Structure 1
Amino acid sequence: MKDRHLMFRTRLKNGLFGGAPKRLIWLYLLALLLVVWAILKGGDALRHQQIKTLRYEVSDQLNQLASVLENAIVKYQHMPTLLASNDRVKQALLHETDKDIEQLNRELKQINLITEASDSYIINTHGLTIAASNYQKKTSFVGKNFAFRPYFKEAMSGKAGRYYALGTTSNRRGYYFSYPVYSGDKIIGVAVVKVDLTQFEKRFNNQSYEFLLIDPDGIVFSSSHPDWLYHLLGELSHQELQRIAESQRYKDKDIKKLAIAYSKPFDSKSTIVDVLEEMTLPNGKVQLERHAYLQMSRPIRLLNFRVAIFAPLKTINEDIALWRAIFVGGVIITALLFGLAMLRTRMLRERSDANEMARHNQAYIREVIQNTQAGLVTLDDSYQIESFNPAIERLLGQSLAPLVGQPLSVLFQPIDNQQDYEQNTESVESMGVKVLTQEGTLCYLENDKTVLQSIPVEMTLCEMQLPNRRSFLVTFHDMTERKRYEQEITHARNALEARVKERTSELEEANSRLRHEIEEHEGTQRELIQTAKLAVLGQLSAGLNHELNQPLTAIRAFAENGLTFLERNKYPQAKANLEQISQLGRHMGDIIARFKVFARKGDIQQGPIPVHEAMLAAVRIMESRYKGADIAIELPEDKGLMVVGDTVFLEQVLVNLLANAADSIQESASVDKQVCVVIQESADKVLIAIQDTGKGLSEDAQKHLFEPFFTSKASGVGLGLGLSISQRIVEAMNGQIQAQNLDSGGAEFCVTLTRFQSTLS
């Protein structure tokens, strides 16, 4: 039955989608792609043709615009020459009387009204404006100094000047013409005429294009689009921008680059560009919009400017988009009509095939139910057994025919004496749950309630969505093997927990022993450090006796002299002797205190240590020995360096290293008996180096230098613990100690410690 069902599905699939219809679908898709490609290419060709037509129109408009601008501006270039030859101008510059200047102001105003120039004004040789056509306005040039303007400098050098800039007084853009005023052969001033470009912008404001007047540096000097003013087309170096700023040509305007997002040449004389422009929405927010333009430009050679036209391509792009939308819509409508015709044909064919498929599906489902390994039972809307499959009979080894029409409780019992099935199903229904899963036993109950067979199972009940009636499907899965596995896992887990407890007890006992050994080791280490200190003090005992005997002898002498002076009533001399005795007593106290602190016993206490003070304390302890051995010691300057560690233990390390340096010098035959202390610093470390002129370190000594009880000294001299203990002390302070031979002879011991970083720095 199963094989027949698969054959039918294969035949149905091939009938619907295979063969000729499948090839037709690919042909339709290919045709659709060709049509879309043709629409895109046709749109591009149409757009190119429309832009080409626009390009000729823009070319004519550009020539006309350039001619108008050139004629409108150039007609004013000879006005400064005429003003410079005016006798009243010369008289006002020579005498600068109020009457002459007042008459000149009125005359300049009248000339401006006749010529329609923006402003005319006269500047003396110091750059100060003495008369102007706008003398009655708030933005009058009178009294303003324009010596910094290039047109003034050119006129003062005897040449006709030209310049363009944003007015520092009027705040209006203009083109300036200037000419020197002569009195004989001497230049006595400058005549200037300013042409305001705003009038030209207003004239071309309502055109279908945007025009730009671009200065030689590529900056938009005039435009029908106000937002494009003072924007840069091209690139300028920092030096060029600095030059423009110093000339005050554009006052305090910020020169920015025009936001051109895309640029592609259309032909040799025009370019298609996309400009990003800020648009303010009704809600106050600002967003960027992208506008396409056809750009053309040409030079105005007489003014050394370029004029450009940006013709918008929005209308062309919208026309092309509309044309494409119309064609695409027609293609889509045609494809939809064709698809509807095909769909109707297929639906008629599929309807007959679906009926055949339904019959085969019913037979297939019956085969699946009969051959599945899980036990299946169907219930009616009252939870009474309606049907079952052979798998559940094989599971129980009994025929279930007598149980049809009986409640499910005669076949399944929930585990742990839970409520009977009817109560469970009622509670499930009241909660709106569609699926119920329970563990229990599958059993067969006779009329006397005798259990003939009992098998652990997992029961799953779910409601079947049938169109005409309500029924339920119950699935039973055998859990015999699973229960056995669970028991084995439980036994293994219990055994593992017992073993873990036993092992944990052993580990706790081992940890206790280890802590005890560590405490004993730390005590031993403290005793070894103290022993090393006492050993050093023993070596220094002779020097200590000498240090104390000298002041004691002096004290006795001063005391006897003091008694003598008292008997003779020489109190000042007696007072001086007592002061000497007091000073010697303090000196002896300092000596004893140094050795007392050095001999102190305790643990390492981390904190900030002044490096130079620790070094001086160690040198004081070794001072008597160095004097006795005639060894010179060189100390660095105090740089105020601080390290992290313990003062007493750092002194012990330094005393050990100074003592070893002294031993090495005394064992050698060197005439130069000297020890040098070097202190170097980095960002987070401080290095203390002790260099001697002794015999140096042998290869064997370098290998075992820091091992306990190793010594290279003569037998009976030293315990061999000094360097080992010093290494442990330095490492406990998070530092390092190293040793090496010097090229000049002798050895060097280096102690590196962490530099103390103050939180206030």
Structure 2
Amino acid sequence: MSALKEKYGFSIRWLFSSKQLIWLYLGAFFVVVLLIWKGGEALRNQQIKALRIDSFEQLNQLASVLESAIAKYQHMPTLLASNDRVRKALRDGFDSDINQLNRELEQINRITEASDSYILNTDGLTIASSNYREVTSFVGRNFAFRPYFKDAIQGKPGRYYALGTTSNRRGYYFSYPVYEGDSIIGIAVVKVDLTQFEKRFANQHYEFLLLDPDGIVFSSSRANWLYRVLGELSHTELQRIADSQRYYGKSIEKLAIVYQKPFDEKSQIVDVLENTVIDGTEELERLSFLRMSRPIRLLGFQISILAPLKIINEEISLWRTIFAGGVTITALLLGLAMLRRRMLRERSDANEMTRHNQAYIREVIQNTQAGLVTLDEHHKIESFNPAVEKLLGQPLSPLVGQPLGVLFQPDEQDALALSSHNDFLEAANDLGIKVLTREGRLCYSDQTVPVEMTLCKMQLPNRLSYLVTFHDMTERKRYEQDITQARIELEERVKERTFELQGANTRLRHEIEEHKGTQRELIQTAKLAVLGQLSAGLNHELNQPLTAIRAFAGNGLKFLDRGQYEQAHANLQHISQLGHHMGDIIARFKVFARKGDVHQGPIAVQTAIMGALKIMSPRYKEVGIELVVTEDQGFIVNGDMVFLEQVLVNLLANAADAILETPNNPRRVHIEQISTGNQVMICVQDSGNGLSDDAIRHLFEPFFTSKSSGLGLGLGLSISQRIVEAMGGQISAQNRDSGGAEFCVRLPCFNHHLSQFQSLSRESKESIDPKEEI
């Protein structure tokens, strides 16, 4: 055992050293990765610096070429303004002079390679132009809106840049006033087309941008970058550019710059998103450039060169990949060498461990408390440990070589109707069971011990064997008997208690039915009380049409006697309409008085309000209360039409009682409909004195009333609350800041699927959820 402990101690120490080695390798790996990354960055920065030096020279060269090319045109308007033919054409305006001037301008333009040369009068109208033969001729067009005209007409040389409204070509404009004595009689203008410069520098290994003072790309080696802005322009600036018509008809958008970082004082690294076509498919590509800029003072512009960094980035990526691959291969070779060394060491350790394990297993088998028996491939006893002899209390050496059946007998319920123990073992083999558990008894001589047997197949290198484990179940069997007896006694007590609960349940149901009957009677009493309050108004509403019916009937008889059938027919129609009106009034009161259960469904809020008003309007007319109802909002809620009308009738009756108790206040009741998300709120507001704090606290309690003695049962609001809650809503009351009380009924908006679910839920709970009514 001491040798085994030393071996385990060595393994633990080796495990800790292995963990430290792994952490060391991981640290070295991260250091190498960091070095590769930093080395790549240093190499990339060095190459970018070399690129910056070359690009800066190219930038200066490009700016010089552009400045010198444009500078030769800036004095052309001055020369044209001093031409006698120009002054004569402006002064006299003869067609012959203008035609001759057009030909001269065309020739001058051809010699100087300018884009266009033209002459404007003092109104800004073009009288002669070098492109007079072309479809896009400037002759007859007015350019008074251009800033170069405004500057020249004030006697100053003019400069401007814009997209031509006629030619639709970008150009830089030079202008100069034409004098006749001290008076300005016209303007000479020369336009320089920048397209020639774009073509000249289009095939370079870099991209260039010519930016106007607002940062808008005026010229570029990439056509799709034109009229893009590199910075940010405010709405005011964009409006100013649009009003100037500088880029007539062009949309000013921002260039898709997704990354921008300064490289040094004179350059920066810029990443731009660009649509490229690859194999006929348009894809979004990210392009990286080194950008350098310098101003062109002659034009007031700024020119930029964007040198691509794609080749540098690819070289750095390739360098990193090669170096990382070399490091990885070296690490793998080193790891393979260490793995082989470890495998040899572990093989030696395994052989040593096997010898120690064999000795350890023998000690475990001899000292375990469970009985162990080994069987050969024919299911005969080979060996056993002392725990089996301890279970039976006698030596078992005579059983070696005997079948297991002479020692162990399974219980009847576990034997599976097998005739012998050999059949039992063979059945386990046929079923492919490697671990088989059965309960039974160890029987030898006159000793019997209840045990649990576990049979396990062991496939040894040279043969098949079985390991049988026996666990003593004497205590477990005793516990099972005790538990069975306790379960029988518990079942008897449960039966007795169940019988008592059934009796109590029957009595409770009987009391509930009596309580529901009492509630229905109280509800009906409250409804009849409301009907009694409305009876006077009902008599008045019915007496008026009855009186009219008698009058129309008498007149009709006279008309019949006289043969005036049309007048008699008209009287009968009036009688029919009055009869329908009386029937509608009586039907409303019949519906209000009937009993029934809540039936959920879609109902129109305005319809329920109008139904309640038909019932209450006679009483309101009688006592002179004004009703104010908001317009129909088209709200649909989930509820019961009859019960909602009954709740509203109760609230309107209470509002009338509150107003009549305060005779000095204005008599007005206001009904509002408000949508609050997934609910609709119906509010009844009166002009009474409001509610006391004690009334608000107990308002919805049964038999509580704030009215004068003898004017109410105190059940109306309690029953209304139950009805509204049965429809899935709430009812509340509060005092208004302007005076009077406000009662609000909140009901859920109608939802088709929710209505179906509530219908199913109501059917499942019908036996336990009482439905209440007014």
TM-score by length of 2: 0.74
Structure 1 residues 441 and 591: CA distance shift in structure 2, 3 A = closer
Q: Name the CA distance, whole Å, in 1 between partners of 2:89 and 2:506.
A: 113
Conserved in 1, the CA contact under 8 Å of 2:44 and 2:316?
A: yes
**Is residue 2:424 matched to residue 1:424?**
no
Question: Structure 1 residue 528 and structure 2 residue 522: aligned?
Answer: yes
1:348-383 deviation per Cα after TM superposition (whole angstroms, max 9, x unaligned): 766655554443343334434444555555566666
**1:528 is aligned with what amino acid?**
L
Partner of 1:438: 436
- 1:65 match: 62
Q: Are the structure 2 counterparts of residues 132 and 706 from structure 1 closer, same or farther at C-alpha, using a change threshold of 3 Å?
A: same
Report the Cα offset of residue 690 of structure 1: 2.9
- Report the residue type matching 2:75 in the other structure: H
Residue 191 of structure 2, aligned match among 181, 190, 193: 193
1:690 paired to 2:686: yes
Gap regions ≥5 residues in structure 1: 430-434
SS in 1 for 2:687: strand
Give the residue type in structure 2 aligned to 1:311: A
Query: Corresponding residue for 1:297?
Result: 293
Q: Which residue of 1 aligns with 2:760?
A: none
For 1:424, the aligned partner's letter is A
Give the Å deviation of 1:114. 2.5
Q: How far apart, in 1, do the equivalents of 2:615 and 2:503 lie?
A: 45
Structure 2 residue aligned with 1:234: 231
Q: Does 1:471 align with 2:464?
A: yes
Secondary structure at the residue paired with 1:636?
strand
**Structure 2: 5+ residue stretches without partners:** 753-774
Pick from 67, 73, 78 the counterpart of residue 76 of structure 1.
Answer: 73
After superposition, what is the alpha-carbon deviation per residue over 1:421-478, rounded to whole angstroms, capped at 9, x for unaligned?
554355356xxxxx623222466688x9x996652223333545x3xx3434535363
What is the match of residue 456 of structure 1? 452
Cα deviation, residue 677, structure 1: 0.8
* Residue 218 (str. 1) matches residue 215 (str. 2): yes
1:6 aligns with 2:5: yes
Letter in 2 for 1:457: M
Match of 1:639 among 614, 619, 631: 631
In 2, are the aligned partners of 1:260 and 1:274 still within 8 Å (CA)?
yes
Shift in alpha-carbon separation, 1:493–1:445, aligned structure 2, 3 A:
closer
Greater alpha carbon shift after TM alignment, 395-404 vs 364-373: 395-404
1: distance between equivalents of 2:463 and 2:99? 113
CA distance in 1, matches of 2:119, 2:49: 50
Distance 1:512 1:225, change over 3 A: farther
Q: What is the Cα deviation at residue 123 of structure 1?
A: 5.7
Query: What RMSD, in angstroms, separates the aligned Cα atoms of the two structures?
Result: 5.4
Aligned to 2:610: 613
Asked if the contact 2:409–2:442 (Cα under 8 Å) also holds between the matched residues in 1, the reply is no
Contact 1:228 1:258 in 2 (8 A): no
1:267 aligns with 2:264: yes
Matched residue count: 730
| Contact kept? 1:643, 1:753, Cα under 8 Å | no
Cα separation, 2, equivalents of 1:542 and 1:26: 99
SS at match of 2:9: helix
Alignment of 1:560-639 (within 5 A): 590=581, 594=585, 597-599=588-590, 600-603=593-596, 607-608=603-604, 609-610=606-607, 613-614=610-611, 616-622=613-619, 626=622, 631-636=623-628, 639=631
Judging changes above 3 Å, is the alpha-carbon distance between structure 1 residues 158 and 610 closer, same or farther for their aligned structure 2 residues?
farther
C-alpha contact 2:377 2:466 (8 A) present in aligned 1: no
Q: Provide closer, same or farther for how the CA distance between residues 715 and 350 of structure 1 changes in structure 2, counting only shifts above 3 A.
A: closer
Question: Which segment drifts farther, 486-495 or 238-247?
Answer: 486-495
Letter in 1 for 2:585: R
Superposition deviation, residue 331 in structure 1: 6.5
Cα shift at 1:105: 5.5
Query: In the alignment, is the contact (CA less than 8 A) between 1:618 and 1:652 conserved in 2?
Result: no
Q: Residue deviations 1:169-190, cap 9 Å, x none?
A: 6555433334455666344455
Specify the code of the residue in structure 2 equivalent to 1:679.
I
**Counterparts of 2:549 and 2:727 in 1: how far apart (Å)?**
43
1:309 matched to 2:301? The reply is: no
Q: CA deviation at 1:601?
A: 1.6
CA distance in 1, matches of 2:391, 2:573: 113
Could you tell me how far apart the structure 1 residues matched to 2:15 and 2:555 are?
137
Matched residue, 1:204: 201
Shift of 1:151: 4.0
What residue in structure 1 maps to residue 160 of structure 2? 163
Change (3 A) 1:497 1:171: farther
The equivalent residue for 1:681 is 673
Contact 1:458 / 1:479 at 8 angstroms: preserved in 2? Answer: no
Q: Distance in 2 between matches of 1:459 and 1:404?
A: 18
Q: Which moved more, 1:580-589 or 1:389-398?
A: 580-589
Q: The residue matched to 1:243 in structure 2 has which SS?
A: helix
Shift of 1:716: 5.9
SS of the residue 1:295 aligns to: strand
In 1, the alpha carbon distance for the partners of 2:491 and 2:618 equals: 63
Instruction: Give the Cα separation in 2 of the matches to 1:383 and 1:428.
Output: 16
Distance 1:662 1:485 in 2: 78
Q: CA deviation at 1:5?
A: 0.6
Give yes or no for contact 1:166–1:251 (8 Å, CA) kept in 2: no
Instruction: Summarize the alignment of residues 379-418 of structure 1 with structure 2, pairs less than 5 Å apart.
Output: 389-391=385-387, 394=390, 415-417=414-416
Q: Distance in 2 between matches of 1:550 and 1:334?
A: 113
Shift of 1:222: 2.9
Deviates more, 1:631-640 or 1:7-16: 7-16
Residues 318-357 of structure 1: pairs in structure 2 closer than 5 A: 355-357=351-353
Equivalent pairs: percent with the same residue?
Answer: 58
Contact 2:125 2:141 in 1 (8 A): yes
Question: Is the Cα contact below 8 Å between 1:595 and 1:621 reproduced in 2?
Answer: no
Q: Greater CA deviation, 609-618 or 22-31?
A: 22-31
Decide whether the 8 Å contact of 1:162 with 1:175 is kept in 2: yes
For residue 299 of structure 1, what is the amino acid of its counterpart? Answer: P
C-alpha distance after superposition, 1:14-38 (max 9, x if no partner): 58986xx999999998888777766
Aligned 8 A contact 1:737 1:749 in 2: no
Matched to 2:674, the amino acid is: S
Within the candidate set 352, 362, 372, 2:358 is matched to 362
Deviations 1:116-158 (A, max 9, x none): 3344455666766666555666766667766655445544555
In structure 2, the partner of 1:432 is none
C-alpha displacement at 1:302, in angstroms?
1.2
Q: Secondary structure at the match of 2:213?
A: coil
Residue in structure 1 matched with residue 255 of structure 2 by the alignment: 257
Partners in 1 of 2:349 and 2:545 — Cα distance? 128
CA contact (8 A) 2:368 2:387 kept: yes
Aligned residues of 2:80 and 2:188 also touching (Cα < 8 A):
no
**Structure-2 residue corresponding to 1:752:** 745
Q: Which amino acid aligns with 1:436?
A: K
Q: Distance in 1 between matches of 2:39 and 2:15?
A: 37
